[in-house]
Structure 1
């Protein structure tokens, strides 16, 4: 093999090796454990069935829940039937989301919805801790 051919092979091997092991490697992707607030807002008119923690109780017909998939400031839940929930209760909520005006919010005893949308619950189930056996 001629000197020129050997030199060409050496250059090619050097370039291939340098591309695989040297230089500036591609940075590893950084996972984002928190989705943006935009992706966590529930649009009106959506049927929901979710499990979340009660973070604030406004009265027997309105409360806030929190979950990693919900807006960071909580999701308002309202109910036409009185509901018994307490702070830090784990609840399962079924219902449909709706935009409620100020008069409807007052009727439920709720403040302005932090997200503009409330879940109008058709069912709220509390998960109670099991007692001694």
Structure 2
């Protein structure tokens, strides 16, 4: 048995849920989390991203200083961002299929380069599981 932890963009929650259901996952848990990923260090790429984000974030209701502060805190890593954490228990043989379903639903190509900020997937071993309702244990308890 394996536990898959997938950290995804909040806007990708619905797509991830649909992908998991389509992949045949019987159950999973999703919670709101805060975090940040790797920082981009290329000054040219940072400036391009900053210009793009500032142009996207401005409207007649936005304060220029507030928007710039938010964009800067995003780029320098001083700000956490809301994400969704999915937890899925799967049979060992199903891991590649479930990972591909999650990755496919979350691959955007947004940001600096392809897919920066699209999320992270972790796979860990699970020694046992017990279904409370039936008392089933091990592999029988997860699907």
Q: Tell me if both proteins adopt one fold, taking TM over 0.5 as the criterion.
A: no
More helix by share: 2
TM-score band w.r.t. shorter chain: under 0.3
More strand by share: 1
TM-score (norm 1): 0.22
TM-score (norm 2): 0.21
Looking at both structures, which has the greater relative contact order when contacts are Cα pairs under 8 Å and sequence separation is at least 6? Answer: 2
